[in-house]
Amino acid sequence: MLKKTIAAATLLSATFTVGVARAETLNLLIWEAYIDQGIIDRFTKETGVEIRQTYYDSGDARDEILSDPASNIDLAVVGENGAALFGKRGILEPLTDTNVPSLKDYSEQWRSRCAGYALPYLWGTMGIVYRSDMVKQTPTSWNDLMAPKPELKKHIAMYDDHNEAFIAPLVLLGKSINANDNETLKAAFEVMKKQAPFVLTYDYVITSIQNPEIGRNIYMALAYSGDQHVLNDKAGTPGVWRYAVPKEGTLSWLDCMAVTSASPRKDLALKFLNFVGAPESAATNAESLTMPTASSAALKLIPAETRDNPEIYTPDDILAKSQYQEELSIQSVQTRRRIISSMANFQ
């Protein structure tokens, strides 16, 4: 997904040196390339308010910034778990149809996942990206990634995240992706060990594809919906990278956009959030990023060929088998991280 593109370190560090912004500037904490620039330009033209984007390249980095009372952030894109966590801690402003009228276009199913503290922004799945010039048959199962064909040995890219790295093995085992017990995690470890000799790198595919030493040798990878478009841009060959959601089900993720409760420009931030959530903006944003919108009104403005594209709008039968991420226990996170760090020993 585009939200996982690599952000420049200087942009991340800039968050801590923003200082007191002018009244006509809003500070938005967001993944790189995760909002259509045209929307920002239109808002600035209509209101005179500029949007300064600060990029992060991991959830941990984002959470550290949001936890810093001196970060001077007005708005932030967070995951659904982050919306609940930071909302309960008083860091995010509660949202209603009154302070963000465009929320009325989002069903309760979506709104509840942002816990009443954020606007449902973009959503998607986790699946398999593959080079169609090297992998001729579309992957249909997580087994295609976790138990690859011999010719894919050292051509697989995984992801050393304590949540995402366990999705494929846990789904294959018929377990919850939020499993905390050691017995289940040990079983997942066994699946991951068998795959390890086929793995070229555990760096995220958007990162590893840009490594001149290994990038050309990556044929298949764990990835988010939308990543195939970034990979095609990097490859310079439109359409060569494709995305598939395994039949067993997967992670269904939702990103939410929130306003910080400590923002000195809260009214302007709420106005921008409402602008982003309006049908025209939400539809334009989704089309520009090739991502699915959570707005019912915006969906009506999306061309039928886009709505019917399974690489963008995951079919209902797959979504019915997909799971949401929940907060893991501290012990589970520690165990998962130990497992991931040990994987290099089995390559």
Q: What is the mean pLDDT of residues 29-51?
A: 94
**Sign of torsion over alpha carbons 234, 249, 246, 153:** positive
Q: How many residues does the chain have?
A: 347
Tens digits of per-residue pLDDT, 94-126?
Answer: 999 999 999 999 999 999 999 999 999 999 999
Q: Name residues whose C-beta falls within 8 Å of residue 171's C-beta, 6 or more positions apart in sequence.
A: 142, 177, 246, 248, 249, 250, 323
What distance lies between CA 171 and its chain's CA centroid?
Answer: 19
CB 126 within 8 A of CB 251: yes
CA 56 to chain centre: 12
d(CA 233, CA 215): 14
Residue for token pair 């992670």: 251
For the chain, percent of residues with pLDDT exceeding 70: 93
Average pLDDT, stretch 12-29? 60
Element (H, E) at 121: strand 119-131
Rounded mean pLDDT, 11-17 = 41
Domains along the sequence of the chain with CATH: 2-123+253-313 (3.40.190.10), 126-251+320-346 (3.40.190.10)
Please state the rounded mean pLDDT for residues 253-261: 97
What's residue 6's pLDDT? 37
* pLDDT > 90? residue 204: no
Q: pLDDT band at 223, cuts 50/70/90?
A: very high
The winner for highest mean pLDDT among 130-139, 228-237, 305-314 is 130-139
Q: Which residue has the tokens 């790198």?
A: 201
Cut 0.75: pTM above it: yes
pLDDT digits (tens, 9 = 90+) for 296-317: 999 999 999 999 998 789 888 8
